[in-house]
Chain A
Amino acid sequence: MNIQVAERSTASMSRPESGQPVTRNTEANHELSIRVRDLNLWYGDSQALKNLNIDLYQKNVTALIGPSGCGKSTFLRCLNRMNDLIPSVRIKGLVEMDGHDVNAPKMDEVALRRRVGMVFQKPNPFPKSIYDNVVYAPRMHDLVSRKPEQDELVEKALRDAGLWEEVKDKLHQPGTSLSGGQQQRLCIARAIAVQPDVILMDEPTSALDPISTATIEDLMDRLKQKFTIITVTHNMQQAARVADYTAFFHLGEIIEYNDTRTMFSNPATKKAEDYITGRYG
């Protein structure tokens, strides 16, 4: 039944095959980072993701948009297996990174999460010092051991996250003492400190004021030089500003996946158009 629906939508809305973007961002890089095929996910008996197919590209920002409850966060969590923490979840389908099936039994989810970092909707620094927040994971993964190396790494991560100038004099104060926007950048620094390939961001700016939001958007623009960024957002302007590709989700399906410019200027599907222009009911 689901397959039927999928087929119908493909046919009637001329959805691109296998998540291939219709048009490509000319300046962008098109190396494949994560390949998703026929991904289905159930919470108990209710299906939250239906036959997802999408290719996510390296060193680009991909935005996931769509109405509330359509499965954006659920999909994001499939990419670093955070859904493992929810007992009722059942997954079928392929999520492939570097030629490895992420859900294969021999895939170590710890190794996966080292390569696929995550930034959450609500800033959640560890209740430790700013310094320890950044250095904790690299130390745990044995990336650094000596003190000078650690100092260097902390400074670099904080600089990359655009937070260094603000916190360099108070590295040993608790991370929780920072403002919301600073905390979120600290969480980004924490994520990039282990040099992942992909950074997942679930509405990273939804709890922030416009100025902090702008800072983080700038940051995403810079970070994509080094990392693949996949971000969820409810803010259409944000998606248009920062994303190279945009995927529109609806009721657990990807209705349209396209490069951002096309998506916003000339969406291929009526649903996406309605949603983007705010006519979604």
Chain B
Amino acid sequence: MSHSFDEISAQLRGRHRKSARLKWISMGALGLAGLFLVLFFADMLNKGLPAFQQAYVQVELEYNEDAASMGRAAMDPEVSRVVSRSFERLIPGMIRDNPDLLGTTEQRWVLTNGDVDQYLKGHRSKLSEAEREVVDELVDSGQVALKFNTTFFSRGDSKMAENAGIMAAAVGTVMTMLVTLAIAFPIGVMTAVYLEEFAPDNRLTQIIEININNLAAIPSILFGLLGLAIFINFFGVPRSSPLVGGMTLALMTLPVIIIATRTALRSVPDSIRHAAFGVGCSRWQVVRDHVLPLAMPGIMTGSIIGLAQAMGETAPLIIVGMVAFIPDVGASFTQAATVLPAQVFTWAGEPERAFVEKTAGGILVLLSILIFLNASAVILRKKFERRW
């Protein structure tokens, strides 16, 4: 029995309505997710951008005998009330290191204390009425101003908010990631190459494969416990060091790299392998000269994403002691260090108002690095995308 167009359309109307409804629901979900993302970024930018500026005061420093023991004596007492104590403490050392300074004077922009900074940024601060007047006057005369916060990008952590910076953590992150990459990349790639190109497909390799996939799903904090038990307690790797942190994160990144590499190897068409075997390549030559170069973009994207994941990781590093107070920029792989997310975590726990913006500022730095890494992964993939 045949139906007219009208009959069929009547039947279809309900179906069309249903699919339109589903479309709206999914678009709504997407919109909501987008909205949360925008709100999150707006909040972080709002809170974090002020951290990139800091209040500085212009002082006249008079290097006299008193200042050699008590830094405060080098400054006009009125002005010295707004100067950061972290700077006052530096003065005796400066004189000791360079005795020629004694008896000279110098104009210099130095950090104010955190309260002045917060006051200038319009936040609540503990300044008294009188102090506020002093600050207002100095602002009017151009002796106190907000400037780009070089301290934030060049120093390590500090108990004084105005003196706290992200540099020690950034260097710690770089060193930790170097260790992670140096361990996880070669081992991961070679493991994947073995499993994909050399290993026979038997029970044993299937079990290994399943376990590697499981490894990728293990909560990261367990890797921290493993790192603590094996690397620190058994092998005696120094606690809190980029070495032990990097090794621990390598355990976590390994399955990601293995899985990414296997996928990349599998996407190389067999016709290329056959061509290579056909001209008399040994198995290793097939892999080295033909398969690996073609899989490399995929391997690199996977590794970068794995690394970005490791970079944002805090939990396992807490366990191996990398969430520490690190005032100095680290110089070796075995010294105590901290990493960006751990630094953010530490600052988030500080009670002072000034640390709120440090926290958000740290998050912004971390986010920009992660976005940069992920974007480069995408660009790599696009650039080397192949047509066979």
| A118 lies within 8 A of B294 (CB) | no
Give the segment of B13-21, B85-93, B119-127, B269-277 that binds chain A: B269-277
| A120 lies within 8 A of B274 (CB) | yes
Inter-chain CA distance A171–B280, complex, in Å, is 23
Inter-chain CA distance A20–B361, complex, in Å, is 85
Interface residues of B in 271-305 (CB under 8 A from A): 271-282, 285, 289-290, 294
Inter-chain CA distance A111–B281, complex, in Å, is 9
Per-residue interface assignment for chain A, residues 16 to 35, with 1 indicating a CB less than 8 Å from any chain B CB and 0 otherwise: 00000000000000000000
Residues of B within 8 A of A114 (CB): 279-280
Is A66 interfacial (CB-CB < 8 Å)? no
**Closest chain A residue, CB of each to CB of B202:** A87
Is B106 interfacial (CB-CB < 8 Å)? no
CB distance from B319 to the nearest CB of A (A): 43
CB distance from B263 to the nearest CB of A (A): 19
Residues of B within 8 A of A118 (CB): 274, 278
Inter-chain CA distance A192–B275, complex, in Å, is 13
| B280 lies within 8 A of A140 (CB) | yes
Residues of B within 8 A of A127 (CB): 272, 294, 386, 388
Per-residue interface assignment for chain B, residues 228 to 255, with 1 indicating a CB less than 8 Å from any chain A CB and 0 otherwise: 0000000000000000000000000000
Is B31 interfacial (CB-CB < 8 Å)? no
Inter-chain CA distance A124–B388, complex, in Å, is 8
Is B387 interfacial (CB-CB < 8 Å)? yes
**Closest chain A residue, CB of each to CB of B275:** A124
Partner of A126, one of B276, B277, B280: B276
Per-residue interface assignment for chain A, residues 87 to 122, with 1 indicating a CB less than 8 Å from any chain B CB and 0 otherwise: 100000000000000000000001101100110101
Interface residues of A in 52-107 (CB under 8 A from B): 80, 82, 85, 87
**Closest chain B residue, CB of each to CB of A111:** B280
Inter-chain CA distance A110–B281, complex, in Å, is 6
Inter-chain CA distance A244–B244, complex, in Å, is 71
Inter-chain CA distance A85–B197, complex, in Å, is 11
Is B6 interfacial (CB-CB < 8 Å)? no
CB distance from B153 to the nearest CB of A (A): 44
| A126 lies within 8 A of B275 (CB) | yes
CB distance from B121 to the nearest CB of A (A): 57
Is B140 interfacial (CB-CB < 8 Å)? no
Residues of B within 8 A of A124 (CB): 271-272, 274-275
| A136 lies within 8 A of B279 (CB) | yes
Inter-chain CA distance A85–B277, complex, in Å, is 9
CB distance from A134 to the nearest CB of B (A): 10
Partner of B275, one of A80, A111, A125, A141: A125
Is B200 interfacial (CB-CB < 8 Å)? yes
Per-residue interface assignment for chain B, residues 355 to 388, with 1 indicating a CB less than 8 Å from any chain A CB and 0 otherwise: 0000000000000000000000000000000111
Interface-centre pick from B200, B273, B275, B289 (highest chain A CB count, 10 A)? B275
Is A190 interfacial (CB-CB < 8 Å)? yes
Inter-chain CA distance A118–B387, complex, in Å, is 23
Inter-chain CA distance A191–B276, complex, in Å, is 11
Per-residue interface assignment for chain B, residues 210 to 238, with 1 indicating a CB less than 8 Å from any chain A CB and 0 otherwise: 00000000000000000000000000000
Residues of B within 8 A of A125 (CB): 275
| B281 lies within 8 A of A176 (CB) | no
Is B78 interfacial (CB-CB < 8 Å)? no
The 10 A-B pairs at the shortest CB distance, nearest first, are namely A137-B279, A124-B271, A118-B278, A113-B280, A114-B280, A124-B275, A110-B280, A110-B282, A122-B271, A126-B275
A-B contact pairs, 14 of them (CB 8 A): A110-B281, A110-B282, A113-B278, A114-B280, A118-B274, A118-B278, A120-B274, A120-B278, A124-B274, A127-B386, A136-B289, A137-B280, A141-B280, A190-B279
* 14 other A-B residue contacts (CB within 8 Å) besides A120-B278, A124-B272: A80-B278, A87-B201, A113-B278, A114-B280, A117-B278, A120-B271, A120-B275, A126-B272, A136-B279, A137-B280, A137-B281, A141-B280, A187-B275, A191-B278
